[in-house]
Amino acid sequence: MKVGQKVVCVNNRCQFVFGELPAVGEIYTIRDIRYFPGYGVGIWLVEIVNTPVITVCGKMEMGFAVERFRPVDESFGEEVSENLQKHFRALERVYKIYGE
């Protein structure tokens, strides 16, 4: 995953709640990624900005565990759109030949 990438939340259960949580099934944009030894990788989201709290790593905004998100497959939507456009062009040709 990388900054700027779209991700979908697949698990929003959290042991500690320090503000707004992402909603399962919603799409978010990664604004930051950090690795914390002993804790793993956390991500911060453009759409959710929480108040910083005091943590073992110092005062900071809490991130979300990266494993609670999956990348959004944007190619699927592009493929569907291309197929629909092809079908509409074919229909336009049929209407031109046979009328409405």
What are 36-65's pLDDT values in tens digits?
A: 888 899 999 999 999 999 888 789 998 999
Q: Is 47 contained in some domain?
A: yes
State what percent of residues in the chain have pLDDT above 90.
51
55-87 burial, b at 16+ Cβ within 10 Å, e below that, comes to eeeeeebbbbebebbeeeeeeeeeeeeeeeeee
Q: Is 38 contained in some domain?
A: yes
The contacts of residue 44 (CB under 8 Å, 6+ apart) are 30, 31, 32, 33, 34, 61, 63, 64
Taking residue 42's Cβ as centre, other Cβ atoms within 10 Å add up to 19
- Specify the number of domains making up the chain: 1
What are 25-43's pLDDT values in tens digits?
A: 999 999 999 998 888 999 9
The phi and psi torsions of 32 (rounded to 5 degrees) equal -160, 150
- Which pTM was predicted? 0.71
Q: Is 62 contained in some domain?
A: yes
Q: Which domain holds residue 26?
A: 6-73
Q: Is 98 contained in some domain?
A: no
Q: Is 45 contained in some domain?
A: yes
Quote the mean pLDDT of the chain: 88
**Percent composition of the chain: helix, strand, coil (DSSP 3-state, to 5):** 30, 30, 40
Q: Is 85 contained in some domain?
A: no
State what percent of residues in the chain have pLDDT above 70.
98
pLDDT tops 80 at residue 75 = no
